[in-house]
Chain A
Amino acid sequence: MLKGRFFGLIVPLIAITFGFIAGAIIMLLSGNNPITGYVALFQGVFGDTYYFGETLQRMTPLIFSGLAVAFAFRAGLLNIGVEGQLIVGWFTSVYVGFTFDLPMIIHLPMALAAGALAGALWGFVPGLLKARFEVHEVIVTIMMNYIAMHVVNSIIRTYFIDSAQRTEIIAPTASLASDWLMQITQFSRLHWGFLLAIAACFVMWFILWKTKRGFELRSVGYNKNASAYSGMSVKGNIILSMSISGAFAGVGGAMLGLGTYQYANILPSFTNYGFDGIAVALLGASSSLGIFFSAFLFGALKEGANNMQAAAGIAPELVEIIIAFIIFFVASSYLIRWIYSRLQSKKGAK
């Protein structure tokens, strides 16, 4: 039969290929040249150190939202609420960033922790409802997304509106901005958060694979009943994993607030970082390394889309279509397995 490790790699690769083929077909149907389009896309990522810096900046919150989705997924939960957790994390970290006057060594960690805490709280509620009342976390987290957006918008509008649609800028002592990273990337918005994101990949790997708690979380994800039988607290682990997942998402929001934008603004609609996190986690097979690479792919697609429009005149939404197809194909891995086993059995017959 199929080897797990081999298939863990082959499904995402085939899904990506299919996604790009679907994108090419749509470019052809809409009268564009797919080769020109993809070349422009590629150049929009690697053509210039500025573009590359922006790509890394874009993938930073995606790593966090991907980790958040994956962490819950490992415990058998689907956290669609990363979007809302990210929004509250964004606002809370910025709030700490512009309210307090502290030395950087305290201020920055405090702002990050505030973001993590807010996200954790937003994950704790659906976790608690799931554990206590057996309410499906998917619906609760979707509802929590809207509550997060409306509440944060209202708080900014009522108390913290500075200029236009945003809060004031955070103090430099809470900022992740890096002159050095900006300079080597021709003044892109790349910030220290990128290194934090890499560190976060290690943190997730460590929690899941090197601690007793992580073993329990994964065990609950595999088989609830067996875990309960062997004395683990299924409910406790559900609440914990949703909270940690929310904390990852909250720090992802802090990346936007303390790194990219330096402020929080009134959101007319969702940021989509949370939903993209589902795609990142799925494609990355919920592993730290996989998430890093898939966050890079999606960050690059989104950054390259700008150049695709500028240089080849193709609407940037093409990238969203490609991403949607990639998710479809990853989710339909049964199809890929089925085709593969058919090919194998044909070989066997010869």
Chain B
Amino acid sequence: MDVILNVLYIIVPAALIAATPLLLTALGGLFSERSGIVNIGLEGLMVMGAFGGIVGTLYFESIGFGALSPWMGIVVAIILSAIFSLFHAVASIAFRADQIVSGVALNFLALGLTVFIVREVFGRGQTDTISDRIFTTTVPILSDIPLIGPMFFTRMFLTTYIAIGIVFVVWYVVFKTPFGLRLRSVGEHPMAADTMGIKVNRLRYIGVMLSGAFGGAGGAVFAITSAGNFAGGTIVGQGFMALAVLIFGKWHPFGALGAAIFFGFAQALGTSAQQLPGLSSIPQVYFLILPYVLTILALAGFVGKADPPKALNTPYEKGSR
């Protein structure tokens, strides 16, 4: 029993920490895809966010903001990625580009631009390492709760709690507000929405820019809490995994929360299986591919059918039917 508990005390915090960037980015993808715009570019938005987060933190550190710098870095990342996502928005909404192709181009562009700037500014392929990180905290009273305390309230990042709080906000916004209703209607049946006087394209722009903001936050949180600096290899695949989280979570905020924790769990198992009794004999590769295999199975309907918004990946032209 003690062995199992000790394993959980290692794995659960690690899983929640790994889940945080995925969750934030997937929530971003939710806004975009609920409005009918596929966002394969989440990876690129995370890259831009990681870049903005690290460069922002370095800048605010240098002018003396101290421990506040990483938080301001995250804000920089959110703004930068929201603006950057306009590339995808304009191409896929105004110019009616294939949304998947435009997302792929966004990924290329993010990596090219950020590494280019880093090389020009720092003279090498990576930035300096930030000194004011967001550190793990142990919540004073809650961590003393037996069983749960050491799992959920010890050595955690504040960002993880914030992200989980945001899930509830996103759920409320998407399902309980007029804005959310309009956003979803645009993703399901844009022509009907248009008939009701809803500005289809404007809502889609908002959806994509929100995905930029959230994706930027996800990338920045990953870079600031886990990596500490930015290079071309800081974000490798987390954006695609966030997309998988979104699909696995059936385009629902709570679904995404569950899927993100699950994927975080798989990641944490992959990195710490070697230290765990009973799991060290299982090759790491099984844990590495687990999230991807499960996503495929989920899509094929073996783990419950996931239905995307109906108008996903179709540009809206006024007057067409």
Complex Cα gap A268–B233 (Å): 9
Q: Is the contact region of chain B dominated by helix, strand, or loop, or is it mixed?
A: helix
A41-49, A105-113, A150-158, A164-172 - interface stretch: A150-158
Complex Cα gap A17–B214 (Å): 33
A67 lies within 8 A of chain B by Cβ: no
Are A317 and B247 closer than 8 Å at their CB atoms? no
B109 lies within 8 A of chain A by Cβ: yes
Are A147 and B96 closer than 8 Å at their CB atoms? no
- Which B residue sits closest to A338, measured CB to CB? B95
Are A143 and B295 closer than 8 Å at their CB atoms? yes
State how many angstroms separate the Cβ of B156 from the closest Cβ of chain A: 28
B120 lies within 8 A of chain A by Cβ: yes
State how many angstroms separate the Cβ of B310 from the closest Cβ of chain A: 13
Please encode chain A, from 261 to 300, with 1 for each CB lying within 8 Å of some chain B CB and 0 for all others: 0000000110000010011001000000000000000000
Are B91 and A332 closer than 8 Å at their CB atoms? yes
Are A146 and B95 closer than 8 Å at their CB atoms? no
User: Are A136 and B95 also in contact (CB < 8 A) when A278-B104, A318-B116, A323-B108 are?
Assistant: no
Are B119 and A150 closer than 8 Å at their CB atoms? no
B251 lies within 8 A of chain A by Cβ: no
A13 lies within 8 A of chain B by Cβ: no
Residues of chain B within 8 A of A140, CB atoms compared: 296, 299
Residues of chain A within 8 A of B111, CB atoms compared: 317, 320
B243 lies within 8 A of chain A by Cβ: yes
Complex Cα gap A132–B224 (Å): 43
Are A154 and B284 closer than 8 Å at their CB atoms? yes
Are B236 and A269 closer than 8 Å at their CB atoms? yes
B173 lies within 8 A of chain A by Cβ: no
Are A317 and B112 closer than 8 Å at their CB atoms? yes
Q: Closest 9 CB pairs between A and B?
A: A320-B112, A154-B285, A324-B109, A315-B119, A332-B95, A331-B97, A324-B108, A327-B105, A317-B116
User: Are A146 and B105 also in contact (CB < 8 A) when A78-B100, A154-B283, A317-B115 are?
Assistant: no
Name A327's contact: one of B108, B233, B240, B284 (CB within 8 Å): B108
B59-67, B179-187, B196-204, B286-294 - interface stretch: B286-294
Complex Cα gap A26–B113 (Å): 9
Q: Can you list 21 A-B pairs with a CB-CB distance of less than 8 A? A: A26-B116, A80-B100, A80-B104, A129-B296, A133-B300, A143-B244, A143-B292, A147-B293, A153-B285, A158-B283, A268-B233, A315-B115, A315-B119, A317-B232, A318-B116, A327-B104, A327-B105, A328-B97, A331-B95, A331-B97, A335-B95
User: Are A133 and B102 also in contact (CB < 8 A) when A30-B120, A317-B115, A334-B96 are?
Assistant: no
Complex Cα gap A275–B115 (Å): 18
Residues of chain A within 8 A of B75, CB atoms compared: none
Complex Cα gap A290–B301 (Å): 39
Interface residues of A (CB under 8 A from B): 26, 30-31, 78, 80, 129, 133, 135-136, 138-140, 142-144, 146-147, 150-151, 153-154, 158, 268-269, 275, 278-279, 282, 315, 317-321, 323-325, 327-328, 330-335
User: Are A328 and B295 also in contact (CB < 8 A) when A323-B108, A334-B96 are?
Assistant: no
Residues of chain A within 8 A of B95, CB atoms compared: 331-332, 334-335
Complex Cα gap A134–B71 (Å): 43
Residues of chain B within 8 A of A268, CB atoms compared: 233
Residues of chain A within 8 A of B237, CB atoms compared: 146
Are B296 and A325 closer than 8 Å at their CB atoms? no
B134 lies within 8 A of chain A by Cβ: no
B87 lies within 8 A of chain A by Cβ: yes
Are A150 and B289 closer than 8 Å at their CB atoms? yes
User: Are A138 and B112 also in contact (CB < 8 A) when A268-B233, A335-B95 are?
Assistant: no
Are A321 and B113 closer than 8 Å at their CB atoms? yes
Complex Cα gap A327–B105 (Å): 6
User: Are A328 and B105 also in contact (CB < 8 A) when A139-B243, A140-B299, A158-B283 are?
Assistant: yes
Residues of chain A within 8 A of B104, CB atoms compared: 80, 275, 278, 327
Are A146 and B292 closer than 8 Å at their CB atoms? yes
Please encode chain B, from 63 to 101, with 1 for each CB lying within 8 Å of some chain A CB and 0 for all others: 000000000000000000000000100010011111011
Please encode chain B, from 233 to 246, with 1 for each CB lying within 8 Å of some chain A CB and 0 for all others: 10011001001100
